Structures are given as structure tokens and as C-alpha cells.
Structure 1
Amino acid sequence: MKKLYLFILLVASIPAFAQTKSVKEDVSKKADALQDQIIAWRRDFHEHPELGNHEVRTSGIIAKYLQSLGLEVKTGVATTGVVAILRGGKPGPVVALRADMDALPVTERTPVPFASKVKTMYNGQEVGVMHACGHDSHMSILMATAQILTSMKKDLHGTVKFIFQPAEEGLPAGEKGGAEEMVRQGVMENPHVDAVFGLHIQSYQPAGTISYRPGGDMAAVNPMKIVVTGKQAHGAYPWSSVDPIVTSAQIINALQTIVSRNLQVTRNGAVVTIGAINGGNRSNIIPETVTMLGTIRTLNDDDEKMVIERVRTIATKTAEAMGATAEVTIPYEHHYPITYNDPALVAQMLPTLQATAGKENIVLRNAETGAEDFSFYEQKAPGIFIHLGGLPRGGDPVKAPAHHTPDFFIDESGFTLGVKALCNLTLDYMTARSK
């Protein structure tokens, strides 16, 4: 009797495993069949890029397609955002999947036949417009993901929110948008999101690979403004002045000690950069004020607080020692939190990524001091942000054209892996939570 019972248990367990394997095979076949369509979408978006909060054509194409799938579609979210809801046939959690839509004020220089020729006005000047960070591929991947998951609707254990977000790259002064505004307008609620997944293609990472990092993956961003005020004087009589230029130079040098002397460099990295300095207009006039703009990048909350405090202290006290004053504004204009991948969720979903791409193609990556506003979604629900390879196989990562440059280039062969990853992360998470 005991042997019979064990046999029944063994037999009963086989269909569950086989079903999981068959679902992944089904996803893989459907993704591969969509490869030409994904590439066509991507090339169309690439040829017709639009800047943040101006993705009118782009969002229109996406909304129309999602509506054709029978999804609940809401447009005009955070200006041009599109959110679609797929309600599965079975109860379960809510998973959000996000893609960004905006291009950059960059004039394209690649030789591809679908290169952008678009020009527009940005901050008062005419600029070229280019998908120089891969958002065209992100949208196309998520559209295909929506198609595949919709085809599995009756067997879906839960609900999927497809988030197509404007303005990830930032906005002209005075405008609101991006993930922060999407969250503010309730995109992570109604229904409440239990987990959020996103991806970013990388020009320097080999196609066919996925990289990930638990914890702090991409840095928090705190732009800063420091205004140093002294006393104006004739350049020939510096003793009559309190020189804000010399004071600013002392502040800049002292700020470099934060990373080298205050940060525990064996644990995390950080960046303190002054990117602009403006003061004076003649060679023989010591000005009254100098304005500096810069950025702070940190990878955990404690370091963020420490670095901001040290910047304030160094700037104000150095100025005081020189007889000047310093007004420090942090954050200045905007702030991005740390892109923090929930470690428990990463541990849970890592086998899914390995089964999707093969263990040898899943790589633990180093943290980056670049930033992503995907972090705003991760403040509302546990999330994972993965990185998809876009470097042609056999290519040299060192020579790969960098993101945000006129020569940015992506190998399209890796797009279907992104679709498979998003589908399988969604399905496996739902299955695990619905048991």
C-alpha cells in the first residue's frame, strides 16, 4: 500500500513539471514567431523618435495595438503614458511590466536605413532626435510580451499591468513626467501591484545574455546647485574682494575627499561631480557670485544621506573660512531613488531567468552609477530590473558605441530573449503566488 501511495504521488507530480516546461516551450515558440514583428516595430519607433512628454505618435501606436488585443487601455497617463490591464482567467497576484518610450536630443550618425532624420526644438534650440538608449526596443519587447500573455489569458493566475512610460530621460525645466508622475497618478494601484519587472538593453553586453544584481543596481541621483557669494572688486585689487571663484575652487577640491575619505569604498561606490561652473564676465573683474551645478550618485540610503550632509558641510564651512557664503540646494530640479532589486524576489526568480536563457547566459553584474527612474515603481512594490544584451556576438564591449551618443547601435537578435524573460518572470511569479 505504501509503495502504491508513493507511486501515485510520483505520477501526480509529473504533469505539474511537464506543464511548467511546456508553458516555457510555448512562450519560446511564440516569441520566436514574433521576431520579425518585434524588429519591425522597433525600426518604426527608431525612425520616428519623440522626446519626453511628446510621445504622441508613439503612444498612439501602442494604445491602438493594445486595444486590438482586447485589453483595458488607459491613455494620457502622466501626459502621454499608456497603461493596459490584462485580467487572467484565474485568481492571483498583480504583476506590472514597464517599458519607457522617449528618445533623446541626439543627432543620429548610424548608417542603418531606418536612422532618424527627425529634428525638433528642445530648450530653445533645434536638435536632432534619436532613440540613443534603446527605448525603441523596450517598447517592442513589451508589445510582444502583451500579445503572448494575452493569448494565455484563460490560464493566467492573476492580472498583468503593461506600463508604457514617457519621459524616462528627463524633461525640460518646469515640466513633470516620467515614472515619478506615473506613480503619483496611481499606476501602481487599482489594482495594487504585487511585483514589478522591467528591462534595459545594453550596447556593451553580448546579445543572448541577461545580467542582474540584487540590492542596489543603479544609483540614486541628487542633482545639486551651489551658489557662492563673496564681494565684488576690481581684478587688480583682489585684497578688496572676497573672491567667490577662489572659494569655489577650494570647495570643488574639498568635495573630492568625500569619496576618497568618507565613503566605505569596499562596500559601495559613489560619485560627487561638479559639471558646470559659472561666474564673472570679464578678465579684470572679480565677481560677486559663482554658481556650480553637479550631481551626487549613491547606491544605498545611508551613503546618500552621508554624502549630501558632507557636501552641505564642506561647501558652507569652506565658504565661511574664506569669508564668503554658500547656499546649497540638494536635490536641485529632481531626484531619482536607488534602483533597488528586492533580494528575496531576485533569489526567487533567478531560476526562471536561468531556465529562460541558460545558466551560462545569466550574469551577476556590477552596480552602476547611472540611474533609472524604474526606481520609483520599486518603492511601491518589490521589483527586478534586468539588463538585456545588445552587443553583436563576438563584438568588443570596450569598442561598443555608448548609450546617449550619435553612434549608439543595438543588435536586434536578442529581442526575443527579452520577451521570453518578461513572460516567464510573470508566469512563474503568478504560479508561485497562487499556490
Structure 2
Amino acid sequence: MQRGFGWLSIVRLGLVQASIGAMVMLATSLLNRLMVLEYGLAAAIPAGLVAWHYVVQLSRPIWGHGSDMGRRRTPWVLAGMIVLGLGAMLAVQGTTMLAQDRTLGLSLAIVAFTLIGAGVGAAGTSMLAILASSVAPERRAAAAATTWIMMVMGIVISAGTAGALLDPYTEQRLMMVASGVVVAAIAVSSMAMFRLEKPALRLDRRDGDGPPPSFAEALREIYEEPEARRFTAFIFVSMLAYSMQDLILEPFAGLVFEMTPGQSTSLSGLQHGGVLIGMIVTGLGGSAFAGRTPVELRVWTMLGCVGSALALVGLAMAAGYGAGWPLTANVAALGFFNGAFAVAAIGSMMGLAGAGKRTREGVRMGVWGTAQAIAFGLGGLSGAMGVDIARNAMGRDGMAFQLIFAVEAGLFILSALLAMRVATVRQRTENQRSVQI
């Protein structure tokens, strides 16, 4: 019986995730600030470029299907990393050209963010497909926690290092720092993937099923499968709720609680710390209990969704209560339940990735990755725009944030209901298979 990847192999895949996060950080965080502060662009321009790289990730099912057609996914991972690195360097080049020729600089930036989206789609989808097909079911939740924690660590380490080396800022220093991040990320991911994947290690090989279906046939099978269709809806709604708070938490702390920029940044860091703790706790719990039925991961998923909803209700109450509300504890709880939900959802995703009759992990992970990318792009934008519209309409900051936090809480409750329906359908399907056997 094949046992699948051990923990060393899972950590190696986590290094790939960390490398992806490090390079994406350059474009979505560092260059975002430079475009606005150093080059005087409207904040909507870099925000639009970041949104565009999510749009490009609609191609994830295509990349996943391509990796399904071969015996190995490693070439897709490494090719995606190279494309991502090239896009990151072109984005840096386009940024440095803004001072001389904004039209040319922005044109190059559009091309760069297109490559970044394609690289993330190809490398990320194929890496998750390897994880789903090569990790034993009882380890999937913990494996998801490990890789996502390492991705966050990659972002934090690269951001801290790049920030320290960029001071004082010059364009030459920016090119050197960015080059170092990209070269290091590609080198680390290449070493991590070296001789990692062997076709014989795939736990779900279906040699008697014939070749994988065409791309259109694969999409049709996923659409016709109730569990996969409902899980896609769950991913979209839950990630929409998860991302709506990204751009409004710090403005909320400043406008309603009159926190300084440093205090609000610390509050955001506290939330991310809670996310990491939630991921660790859920990963350990999922590893211990996920081996029997899908019910355990459903419990963690629903707990994360309901807990996130309650934390958001608390923030809505805080908007009306004002000073004196235990805001730090409230935000830490929100981060914890966000982390719990995220890891449980990813573990469920990997469990469902190999459940198709003919479709392989790549295209299925690609479909769910696309739903996640669309939700992330819409979530941050809708949250920020919703607050702006509500503030103008109501004339009161607190009431505007109350409304948006209440909408987010409602979306998380809807996500919990969708998660319950997915697990119910899955359990019914497995019972039917047992009767037939």
C-alpha cells in the first residue's frame, strides 16, 4: 500500500509556497507602496494591477489540466516560478520607468502583472495538485496548515528583509533587492522540487480508467457533480467574506477608535498572528481526526465560519460602542477563526480533489483556485467601496462599518450552511458506494 509523502516532502512543498509568497509580495505590497508614495500614482492604479493579476488567474483550470495530462507536475511548477519571477522583475522595471515615461512604465506593468498572474496560476495550482495526490488523507489538513504557514512566513521574511535593505531608497537598490528575492525564490523552489515527485507516489492512480478527459469534458464532469459544484460555491462565498475585511480593518481602527497608523498596523499584525495560531491548531486537530470520515473537517470548517461570523458581529458592535470595547481581543479572535476556517477548507479541497470519476487533481484544484481568485479580487474591492458608499450615504463612520461587518458575518453564516451541505452530500455518496460494494 502506498503511504504517500512524508513530512519532509510536505515541508519541501511548503518551501515552494513560501517562494511564491515572497515573489508575489514584491508586486502586491512593495511596489504598491512605491507607486503611490514615490511616484505619485493614484492608489486605484496599483490596486487595479493587483486585481488584474487575479483576473489572469481565471486560467488556473487550464494550467491544472495541462499538468494532469503528463506523468509529472514538477515542470509546470518550475515553469510557473520562472514566469512569476520574470513578471516580478518586469514589474520592478516598469515601476522605475514611471518617473521618465508613465505610459511606457504602466504598459510594462500591465504585461508584468499578466505574467505574475499566469505564473502564480501555473505554479500554485500544480503544487496543490501534487499535495492533493501524494499526501495521505489523514495528513491533508496538517499538510495544508504547514504549507500555508510557510507561505505566510515567506511573505513576512521577504518583506522584512527587503524593507530593511531598501532604506535609503534608490532605484538601483530596488533592482538589486528584487533580483535577490527572485533569484533566491527560484533557487529554493528548484531545490525543493528536485526529485521530489515520482509518478508512482500518486495515491489515486487510475491506470485502468484510460487517459484523462479533455479540458471541456473535465469541466463538464465537475459541473455535473453536485458535491464539486456546491464546494465551488462554498469556496467563492467563504473567500469573499474572508477578504472583505482586508482593506477596511485599519481604516476602521483609525476612524472609529482614533488609532495612530502604528497602532492600527500593530492591530493588523495581531490579526495575522491569530490566523497563524488558528492554522496550527486546526492543522494538528485535522491531522489527528481527519482519517475516519469527512465529518471532522466539516466541523472545523463550520467552527471557523461561525466563529468568524461572531467575531465580525463583535466588530459591528464595537463600531457603535467605541472606546472601551476589547478591540484587540476581538481582532485576535477573528484572526484565529479565519485561520481555522482557511486550513480546514483547504484540507477539504485536497480531499475532494481526487474524488472525480475521470478528472484529475489539477483541473479540479484549478477550478477552485479560480473561484478563490475571483472572490479575493471582489472581496477587497467590495469591502472598501461598500464602506465609502455607506459613509457618504449615512454620514456616520461607525454605522457604515457596522453595515459592512454585518454583511461579512452573514456571508460566513451562509458559508457554514454551504459547508454542511457539501459534507452531507459527500457522506451520502460514500454510503451509496459502500452499499454497492
More strand by share: 1
Largest Rg, 1 or 2: 1
TM-score (norm 2): 0.26
Higher normalized contact order (CA 8 Å, seq sep 6+, divided by chain length)? 2
TM-score (norm 1): 0.26
More helix by share: 2
